[in-house]
Structure 1
């Protein structure tokens, strides 16, 4: 077989990386990272979007070092028994691609993951060498996100944090039972240990910065963008409640910046106990909305999952609206008197609009028209609030209130 060119390798290993959701692809039209879009497009050849520690949205080259793997995780397209095209980059090739894309202003950084080749330590050494070479040999100051290998020597992961802006360790599945069943070569305890080691190093740097006296004693940085993880949704029998409770423990225990949810994609020649079709993508979306609720809106996971039927979130409406519909006795709320925390519980209001309301009402009593200039749409907010000159009357208690928020049914074309 003829040796593949660098671009042909890129097509294979960028496509293989699309299953890793730990690099957000905000605004991307589709998940497939290979197509006719061209290298400069944000939707092809492994270009994804993520967020820097300062909040900037940045474009990253998202690739695998290799899709060869000695592990046989049954839900993974790149498992050892999978019949897929295999390829591998050298360290020098990844460095070259990153610098070439960066110089042409296609990307602002690199997201690098890998299948496990030879051993976890060997693979982690290769990932580490890419980051070290970019930083030390080429003076690269762009963003680097490294997917670490949980089974590797902790010292290798510690060294990776010296060069990477963010590290991530995938927990893979929401439950220990699911991981044991579908990926027996992996250990939940080993994964959590790696995450704990990363948090320990991050906390050490924070403590050193807080206690330093002399400016010249500034401690070396360690993964300033923190750590994240990915959880596959729909491969095992875990409910949305199980997933959210697992995420809450991860956030609390390891100080994660993000838990990414990735809808399971059916793999070729899959075992009979794996789903034959992928779960609806709206389920993944609802989990992100629920995740946002307990991270930024002050909801507890118990409150969010209390409205879940058999542990599953409502796919028809977002979880915040679902919670409000189940707790109508708390509404309507007066936007001129409600506290900031209470405003965050009103459907259609987020932190930015809640802060604007609190600031604006210091000068005047807000009307519905005033609120309309603050929020994107009044449709969701109106049944749950009172304002100067506005009351929803019996609207809040209307039996079919939920139906008002559902999209209108699509009428099929006569020739469809």
Structure 2
């Protein structure tokens, strides 16, 4: 099989992995190297540099051959699909040639488990080492640590890649035993813990010794599949909160289950991917990371799933009328963040602007406040918008109407240069 045929197979097989959208690392020009992380062929995905620019990555598997038989995975060993595997040299050559042609600016590398976890990681490490040491590639690389691989291999991978990730796959240990019995929770969490501990040690070393090699400077992330098992949004959000608290992950990614295989253990192939549910979980994840919310505030045993009609912040606001209205001229930063229609930037702008004098309602849109939502939950100088009248029922209807135009589009797919021109 030629390299182009392998590329087509292995970029297509990589499209279900969502855990690559934020690099969070800066590495500029380095003498004698090519590429940087501050600035596609098949399998294009995108990340964002620290200065906000969109960076195109080659998203590909080292191999889609796999010794595991996970029921939800298109690459499981029992599935009848075309198989391919790059050699380390082939993958390094492809990456550097695509970079030189300005198709990509970095690499996102994952793999099925070829032979065993250690062998797979060794192949990935060799490919990345060729890029770093022979081709002196200084661009962004995100690599997947394979659960079950030896700790010394995780160490080597972390010294070569900018970001590491280890997929938790399913939200519960019960789901993992049912759909992926050859994998264990302990095998998944072990490299997560190693990466966390090693990253802390590396930061301490860098303070003492300037030239210490950096270990996964962009941190680590993980991904879980949503909709393949009956786990509730509450369970998923609690797990997400726990991962942030225990392992200091940069991101937890959610991937709506796409029914690509027929199994009695899974939703039927006619089931639509739960994209809206995925969207709500990402919104809730944002609230956990940037708005000071906790999982138990957003959902509870009486309401274990998000209302698909409303974003999680509005749902929380409707359940806590005692917290509102918030007075923008007196509220602290944390209280402002809880107002629907206010974000991190607009809350900071309010704090800055009110130093020069009291704010009025007509000032707020200029500060980035989305008044279609916020008008129901705040006051300025004790006054709400003129003529604003609403009940709890009419407020719910109004917020649902605002939300409709913001829902994600149903058709989303990964870019590929193998597609027909449009």
The normalised TM-score by structure 2 is 0.87
What's the secondary structure of 1:74's corresponding residue? coil
CA distance in 2 between partners of 1:395 and 1:345 (Å): 21
Secondary structure of residue in 2 paired with 1:110: strand
CA distance in structure 1 between the aligned counterparts of 2:99 and 2:225, rounded to whole angstroms: 31
Structure 1 residues 201 and 25 mapped into 2: Cα distance closer, same or farther (>3 Å)? closer
Mapping of 1:160-239 within 5 angstroms? 160-210=157-207, 212=208, 215=210, 218-239=211-232
Larger CA deviation: 199-208 vs 390-399: 390-399
Sort the Cα spacing of 1:100 and 1:376 in 2 relative to 1 into closer, same or farther, 3 A: farther
Give the drift of 1:152: 0.8
SS at match of 2:376: helix
C-alpha distance after superposition, 1:149-196 (max 9, x if no partner): 111111011000110000110000011111111101101011111111
| Mapping 1:168-317, distance limit 5 Å | 168-210=165-207, 212=208, 215=210, 218-268=211-261, 270-276=262-268, 277-306=271-300, 310-317=303-310
State the shift of 1:125 in Å.
Answer: 0.2
**Deviation (angstroms), 1:95:** 0.8
Shift of 1:89: 1.4
Cα shift at 1:278: 3.8
**Equivalence map 1:371-410=2 (5 Å):** 371-375=364-368, 377-388=370-381, 390-392=383-385, 395=389, 397-407=391-401
1:355 partner SS: helix
Are residue 88 (structure 1) and residue 89 (structure 2) matched? no
Distance 1:222 1:389 in 2: 52
> Is the partner of 1:249 in helix, strand or coil?
helix
1:217-263 deviations in whole A, cap 9, x for unaligned?
A: x3211000001000000111110000010111111111100000000
1:398 Cα deviation (Å)?
3.7
Question: What are structure 2's unaligned runs of at least 5 residues?
Answer: 24-39, 406-422
Q: CA deviation at 1:376?
A: 5.5
DSSP-derived class of the 1:354 partner:
helix
C-alpha distance in 1, partners of 2:18/2:132?
A: 25
CA contact (8 A) 2:41 2:104 kept: no
CA contact (8 A) 2:325 2:377 kept: yes
Does the C-alpha gap of structure 1 residues 250 and 54 become closer, same or farther in structure 2, counting only changes over 3 Å? farther
2:94 aligned partner? 97
| TM-score (norm. length: structure 1) | 0.88
Cα pair 1:340 1:355 within 8 Å, conserved: yes
Query: Residue 53 and residue 185 in structure 1: after superposition, are their counterparts in 2 closer, same or farther (change >3 A)?
Result: farther
Query: Does the CA-based 8 Å contact 2:238-2:295 persist in structure 1?
Result: yes
SS at match of 1:145: strand
Say if 2:103 is the partner of 1:106: yes
Structure 1 residues not aligned, in runs of 5+: 27-42, 411-416
User: Which residue number in structure 1 is paired with residue 122 of structure 2?
Assistant: 125
1:25–1:48 Cα contact (<8 Å) kept = no
RMSD over aligned Cα atoms? 2.0
| Partners of 1:263 and 1:208 in 2: CA distance | 39
1:101–1:370 CA distance, 2 compared to 1 (3 A): same
> Which residue is equivalent to 2:409?
none
Considering Cα pairs closer than 8 Å and 6+ residues apart, tell me whether 1 or 2 has the greater RCO: 2
> What is the match of residue 63 of structure 1?
60
